[in-house]
Chain A
Amino acid sequence: MIPSYRAAFQWQSRAVLGRHLTVYRRNWHTAALPPLLEPIILLLAFGVGLGGFIPEFAWRGRPVSYLAYLAPGMLAYTAFMTAFFQALFAAYIRMHYQKTWEGQLVTQLRLEHVVWGEVLWAATLGTVYALIVTLVLAGFSLTGWLQLYWANAFLVLPLLFLAALAFATLGLLFTALVPSIDHMNIPFFLVIMPLGFTSSTYFPLEGDSPWTQAWLVLNPLHHLAEGIRLLLLVGEPNHHLVAACSLFLLMILILIPVDERLLRRRVLGEG
C-alpha cells in the first residue's frame, strides 16, 4: 500500500487522533452544545416555522412535508460542515498558531500521520455531531412531527463517517493553500456555499440543463443527501448511496496525497 494511505492504519495516526479526543473530552460539555442546539434551532425555524408556510409538496412522486424533507438533508449537511471546518479552521490553528504539528513532528510521527490524525478526528467529530442530530430527529419523531424509517437511521452513520473523511480531506486542502487566516472566507465562498446550497440538502434541486445535470452527478453532497433521504423517508437502498460512496472514496484517494504534498511544502518547506 502507498505510504500515504498505509499511515491511516498506523499507531502514530491514532496517537494524533487520541490527542484530539483527550482535548475534546475535557471540554465536551461546552463543545457538544452547538451541535445539539443548532439542529434543534434549525428544525424549529425552518422545518416547523418556515415549513408551516410550505404545503406538502411532491418529491419523487410522493407527498412530503418540508420538515421531513429537511431532516435527512441536515444529517448530510452536519457531517459535511463539521468535518470541513474542523479540518480547516481547527487544523490551521494547530498548524500555524499553536505549533502543535511541529511539536509532533519531532517525535516518531511523520507528516502523513499528522494529516491522517487530523482527517480521522474531523471525520469522527462530523459523525458524532451527525449522531447528535439523529437523536434530535428522534426527539422530533416522538412528538409526531416526523415519520422516518428508524431502522435505517443508524446504518447511515458509517456512510456519514466516510463522507466526513472525504470532506475533511477537502478542508485540509484549503488549510494547505490559504495564505493566512484572513483568507478563510475564500473556501467558504468557493466550497461551502456552492456545494452546500446546491446539493438538495435544504431544497430540491432540479433542472433539465446539461450543466445542472452534470453538477448533480458530480456533487457528492447531493448524492449523500438524496441517498439518506430515500433511505429514511422511503426505506429504499438506492443508487445515490453507491454514487456517494464512490465519489467519497475518489476524493480520499486523490486528496490525501495532494494534501500531504502541499502541507509538506508549507510545514517543512520541502517538495
Chain B
Amino acid sequence: MPTLAAHPNAQNEPVLLACGLVKQFAGRRVVDGVDLRCRAGQVLGLLGANGAGKTTTLRLCYGFLQPDAGTIRVAGVDRHTDPEAAARWVGVCTQDDTFDTDFTVRGNLEQMSRYFRPRPPAVKARVTALLERFGLDRYANAKPDILSGGYRRRLMLARALVHEPRLLFLDEPTTGLDPQARLEVWELIDTLRREGLGIVLTTHYMDEAERLSDELLILREGRVVAAGHSRAVLGNLIGEHMLVLDARDPAVPAVRDWVRQAGLPEPTRVLSSLHLALDGPGLAQFSTRFGDLRFEVRPPTLDDLFLKLAEPS
C-alpha cells in the first residue's frame, strides 16, 4: 500500500527544481528558458508586469500545463515521468476562487482530500483542524458563496493544504483583499513557511513581494531578468540610488541630455516627477553638474523595479 513517505531524492534537493522551462502559445514564447528552485521553508516570489509569464510559469510547475521543454522536479520526483506522484506533494491556491460551490466549506475540504492518493491520514481530524486554524469553523456548514473575500482566500488556502503538501503555489494570493485581510493572509503564509513548507508565489504588490519573499525571481517577457534577495535584485536592476526631481523643472531637458551623454538608462516619468536610477559615482557627477537643482535621493524600491519592467523593451 502506498504511504505518505517522500521520494528518497527529496532529502537531498530543493522541494522544487525547474530547469529550462519553455512554453509557447500560438507560436509565441510565453515562458522562455526559466529556471527556478525553492527549498523547504522558503518563499520564492515571482514578480513581473502583466504578461511577463508568472502565472504560466506557476501553472507549468504545478502541472496544470505541460512545458514544451525543460524539467520539473517536485520533492525529488520528476513531474514528466511520474506526474501523479509529483502532484501528490503540491498544493495550489489559484488566482480565481476555484472552490466547489456545490459543497459547504467543510465539504470543500473533504472533497479536495478525495482527489489525492495516498489519502491524507485522519482526514476528518485534519479538516476540523484546518477549519479552526483558518477561522472557518463558524462557516463550516455554510456554502462558500456567503464568505467575504478574505474568508474565500482562507478557504482556498485551507483546500490547498488538506492533503499535507510540501510545496505550495500561491497565484496572487491577496489580489482584491482589503488591507486587514491582506495582513491576515500574510501572517498565514509566514506561519506556513516557518512550518517548513516551500512556497512559490506571484504578486503584483511590491510590498507583499518584499515582505514575504526570501528570494525574488524577476520575469520579463517570459525570461528571468534577475534572481536573488530583493536588495541584491534591486541593486542589479535599478542601481544604488533613486533620484527624484520635478518633471516640470526647466532644467529637465538638460538632465535628459546629460543622461543620454553618460549612457545611462532613460529616466522614468511618474506623474509629475522624474525618476533616475544612479550608482554612487553617477550620483556624485549629477550633484556636481546640477548642484542648484532641487531633487531627492532615496533607496530604490520594488515599485521602481516594477515601473522599469513595465516599460516596453
User: B311 an interface residue at 8 Å Cβ cutoff?
Assistant: no
Measured CB to CB, the closest approach of chain B to A12, in angstroms, equals: 7
Smallest CB gap from A27: residue in B: B102
B88 contacts A103, CB within 8 Å?
Answer: no
User: A19 an interface residue at 8 Å Cβ cutoff?
Assistant: yes
B62 contacts A19, CB within 8 Å?
Answer: no
Return chain B residues, CB-CB under 8 Å to A11: 117
Residues of B at the A interface (CB closer than 8 Å) are 25, 62-66, 83-84, 87-88, 90, 92, 94, 96-103, 111-112, 114-117, 159, 163
User: Chain A binding site: helix, strand, loop or mixed by DSSP?
Assistant: helix
B116 contacts A102, CB within 8 Å?
Answer: no
Residues of A at the B interface (CB closer than 8 Å) are 11-12, 15, 18-19, 22-23, 98-100, 102-110, 268-270
Measured CB to CB, the closest approach of chain B to A268, in angstroms, equals: 6
B115 contacts A107, CB within 8 Å?
Answer: yes
Smallest CB gap from B102: residue in A: A23
Smallest CB gap from B92: residue in A: A106
Return chain A residues, CB-CB under 8 Å to B25: 269
User: Chain B binding site: helix, strand, loop or mixed by DSSP?
Assistant: loop
Return chain A residues, CB-CB under 8 Å to B65: 268-270
A102 to B88, CA, bound (A): 17
A268 to B66, CA, bound (A): 10
Known: A268-B64, A268-B65, A270-B65. A106 touches B114 (CB 8 A): no
Residue contacts A-B, CB under 8 angstroms, 19 given: A11-B117, A22-B103, A22-B111, A102-B98, A103-B94, A103-B98, A103-B99, A104-B115, A106-B98, A107-B115, A107-B163, A108-B84, A108-B87, A108-B88, A109-B115, A110-B83, A268-B64, A269-B25, A270-B65
Measured CB to CB, the closest approach of chain B to A115, in angstroms, equals: 15
- Which listed residue, B100, B116, B117, touches A100 by the CB 8 Å rule? B100
Smallest CB gap from B99: residue in A: A103
Return chain B residues, CB-CB under 8 Å to A105: 64
B114 contacts A15, CB within 8 Å?
Answer: yes
A265 to B63, CA, bound (A): 15
Which of A11, A19, A98, A108 has the most chain B CB within a 10 Å cutoff?
Answer: A108
B116 contacts A108, CB within 8 Å?
Answer: yes
A105 to B88, CA, bound (A): 12
Measured CB to CB, the closest approach of chain B to A208, in angstroms, equals: 51
Known: A268-B64, A270-B66. A108 touches B115 (CB 8 A): yes
A106 contacts B94, CB within 8 Å?
Answer: yes
- Which listed residue, B66, B88, B90, B101, touches A98 by the CB 8 Å rule? B101
- Which listed residue, A12, A98, A106, touches B102 by the CB 8 Å rule? A98
- Which listed residue, A18, A99, A106, touches B64 by the CB 8 Å rule? A106
